[in-house]
């Protein structure tokens, strides 16, 4: 350690959303509600939060990679 402390910084919800949309965020999850080991309700969550520009660039990069024979997956 250098002995210097990092400065604390306030981050607003708007700052977090702006950073998330700029870089893109993927949320994936599931909830299963059951009683006596019997599944009653299943909720699946798949969310992509990104700017339209970021999503287009990602798709174009992906398609360019496929056209060049690169393997994804």
**CB neighbours (10 Å) of residue 5?**
7
- pLDDT confidence band for 30 (50 / 70 / 90): very high
The answer to whether residue 73 is domain-embedded is no
Judged against a pLDDT cut of 90, whether residue 40 lies above it is answered with: yes
Q: In terms of pTM, does the model score above 0.75?
A: no
Tell me if 29 is assigned to some domain. yes
Mean pLDDT for all residues in the chain: 79
Q: Note whether residue 38 is domain-resident.
A: yes
Q: Are 30 and 42 in contact (CB under 8 A)?
A: yes
Measured between alpha carbons, how far is 26 from 46 in angstroms, rounded to an integer?
7
pLDDT-derived band at 6 (thresholds 50, 70, 90) equals: low
Reference 24, options 59, 58, 49; nearest CA is 49
| Total number of domains constituting the chain | 1
60: tokens are 């174009």
- Which residues constitute the domain of residue 19? 13-67
CA distance 22 to 1: 32
């Amino acid at each position: 350690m250098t002995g210097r402390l990092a400065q604390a910084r306030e981050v607003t919800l708007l700052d977090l959303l702006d950073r998330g949309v700029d870089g893109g965020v993927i949320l994936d999850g599931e909830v299963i509600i059951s009683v006596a080991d019997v599944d009653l309700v299943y909720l699946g969550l798949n969310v992509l939060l990104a700017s339209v520009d970021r999503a287009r660039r990602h798709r174009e990069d992906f398609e360019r990679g496929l056209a060049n024979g690169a393997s994804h997956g």
